[in-house]
């Protein structure tokens, strides 16, 4: 997964990521196209999404959210450019799975169309990182019309069987205070219980409506593991990110799963414990060896293993503002990911990998990729 929302990467830069993915025999690019800090998907029907939502008034400096660098920042992909990328990837046997993250992580859309929020705004495209309390209103019918319109444009461009609908990190505060959301909860008869609030079940309703819509168009949904909380309809695929727990549970419940646990597969994490010597990153350390050590079937009964569709790494880009740095975070960890994806546990051998991966930098250099220098 590449996050083009927090930072924008050009069409050529995304092509370069695709090229390297093909070298490592990866076959799906999950493309995160919308974020609080920037909307990157051109919509013909809702032009303000890119006129307003694709640009933010500066970016916080480092990890201090009281600062702002004062530099207007943004960009978006035209529909033609996205079609070009779909075709480019297809030639390399890579399917692009686009993500419209909903109902949270939508502040850029709210800045463009404030009526989509619970309070009506005003909102601004976020200039700081972190989880935002401003989310789509789940009560107003016009929000569902908006989402169906956007997804209709999206699936016209992306032929992928799977469409990622996000679902992560959606705070309930606005929904709790909103008359529209509360009316919807009453109409649906949603009740809190000892495990979940009525607002938790309201997100299940949003997910189910979007799922039904996409299913009616012949597509399937993938969502972050939050979609498993409460009730999830059959046929949804769960992407496990808060560790492996959600994925293991979903697979045993009969859902298909993509494993992308943060403790093994978040390539935005530092590559060394020596953080002072690394460019600024989001926090924890994820070494090459740790990536290599990941085994998606661990603690999973044999009968549930076929539900694991694959393993994915995520490149979130809060602190990744350039293509050079994106490649630095991707390489050489993508080499380890490839063996996790394709090698049965019995065929994996760190000593063998360690020796072989030492020759990778020569290839990266020839092909013009930046990477994190390493030795052992
Ligand atoms: C996520 O990292 N919020 C999916
Ligand atoms: Zn609302």
Closest ligand to the CA of 261: 1
Q: Mind listing the pLDDT tens digit of every residue in the chain (376 residues)?
A: 999 999 999 999 999 999 999 999 999 999 999 999 999 999 999 999 999 999 999 999 999 999 999 999 999 999 999 999 999 999 999 999 999 999 999 999 999 999 999 999 999 999 999 999 999 999 999 999 999 999 999 999 999 999 999 999 999 999 999 999 999 999 999 999 999 999 999 999 999 999 999 999 999 999 999 999 999 999 999 999 999 999 999 999 999 999 999 999 999 999 999 999 999 999 899 999 999 999 999 999 999 999 999 999 999 999 999 999 999 999 999 999 999 999 999 999 999 999 999 999 999 999 999 999 988 7
Q: Which of 30, 31, 165, 241 to mutate to test the pocket of ligand 1 (most atoms within 8 A of CB)?
A: 241
Domain extents in the chain: 2-367
Ligand 1 mean position to 104 CA, how many Å?
Answer: 11
- Helix (H), strand (E), coil (C) string for the chain: CEECCCCCCCHHHHHHHHHHHHHCCCCEEEEECEECCEECECCCCCCHHHHCCCEEECCCECCECCCCCCCEEECCECHHHHHHHHHHHHHCCCEEEEECCCCCCCHHHHHHCHHHECCCCCCCCCCCCCCCCCCECCCCHHHHHHHHHHHHHHHHHCCCCEEECCCCCCCCHHHHHCHHHHHHHHHHCCCCCCCCCHHHHHHHHHHHHHHHHHHHCCCEEEEEHHHHCCCCCCCCEEEECCCCHHHHHHHHCCCEEEECCHHHHECCCECCCCHHHCCCCCCCECCHHHHHCCCCCCCCCHHHHHHEEEECCEECCCCCCCHHHHHHHHCCHHHHHHHHHHCCHHHCCHHHHHHHHCCHHHHHHHHCCCCCCCCC
Q: Look at the pTM and tell me if it is higher than 0.85.
A: yes
pLDDT of residue 375: 81
Our answer on whether the CB atom of 19 is closer than 6 Å to any ligand 1 atom is no
Ligand 1 mean position to 102 CA, how many Å?
Answer: 12
Ligand 1 mean position to 368 CA, how many Å?
Answer: 30
Q: Say if domain 2-367 classifies as CATH 3.20.20.80.
A: yes
Output the residue whose Cα is nearest ligand 1's atom 2.
Answer: 241
Ligand 2 mean position to 262 CA, how many Å?
Answer: 31
Our answer on whether the CB atom of 169 is closer than 6 Å to any ligand 1 atom is yes
Our answer on whether the CB atom of 148 is closer than 6 Å to any ligand 1 atom is no
Ligand 1 mean position to 286 CA, how many Å?
Answer: 16
Our answer on whether the CB atom of 168 is closer than 6 Å to any ligand 1 atom is yes
């Amino acid at each position: 997964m590449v996050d083009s929302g927090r930072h924008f990467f050009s069409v050529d830069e995304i092509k370069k990521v695709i090229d390297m993915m093909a070298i490592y025999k990866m076959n799906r690019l999950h493309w995160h196209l919308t974020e609080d800090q920037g909307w990157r998907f051109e919509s013909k029907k809702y032009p303000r999404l890119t006129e307003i939502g694709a640009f933010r008034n500066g970016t916080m400096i480092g990890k201090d959210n009281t600062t702002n660098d004062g530099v207007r920042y943004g960009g978006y992909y035209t529909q033609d450019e996205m079609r070009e990328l779909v075709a480019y990837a297809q030639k390399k046997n890579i399917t692009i799975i686009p993500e419209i993250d909903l109902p949270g992580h939508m502040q850029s859309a709210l800045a463009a169309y404030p009526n989509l929020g619970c309070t009506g705004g005003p909102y601004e495209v976020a200039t700081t990182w972190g989880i935002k309390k401003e989310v789509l209103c789940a009560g107003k019918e016009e929000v569902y019309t908006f989402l169906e319109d956007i997804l209709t444009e999206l699936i016209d461009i992306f032929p992928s069987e799977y469409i990622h609908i996000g679902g992560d990190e959606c705070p309930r505060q606005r929904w709790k205070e909103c008359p529209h959301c509360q009316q919807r909860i009453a109409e649906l008869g949603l009740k809190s219980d000892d495990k979940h609030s009525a607002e938790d079940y309201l997100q299940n309703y949003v997910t189910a409506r979007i799922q039904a819509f996409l299913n009616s168009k012949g597509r399937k949904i993938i969502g972050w593991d939050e979609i498993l909380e409460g009730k999830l309809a059959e046929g949804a695929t769960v992407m496990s990110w808060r560790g492996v727990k959600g994925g293991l549970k979903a697979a045993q419940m009969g859902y298909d799963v993509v494993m992308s646990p943060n403790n093994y597969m978040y390539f935005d994490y530092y590559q060394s414990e020596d953080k002072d010597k690394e460019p600024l990153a989001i926090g924890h350390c994820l070494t090459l060896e740790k990536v290599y050590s990941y085994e998606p079937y661990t603690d999973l009964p044999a009968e549930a293993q076929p539900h694991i569709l694959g393993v994915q790494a995520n490149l979130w880009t809060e602190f990744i503002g350039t293509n050079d740095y994106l490649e630095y975070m991707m390489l050489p960890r993508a080499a380890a990911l490839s063996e996790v994806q394709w090698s049965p546990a019995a065929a994996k051998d760190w000593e063998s990998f360690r020796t072989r991966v030492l020759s990778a930098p020569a290839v990266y250099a020839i092909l013009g990729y930046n990477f994190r220098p390493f030795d052992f």
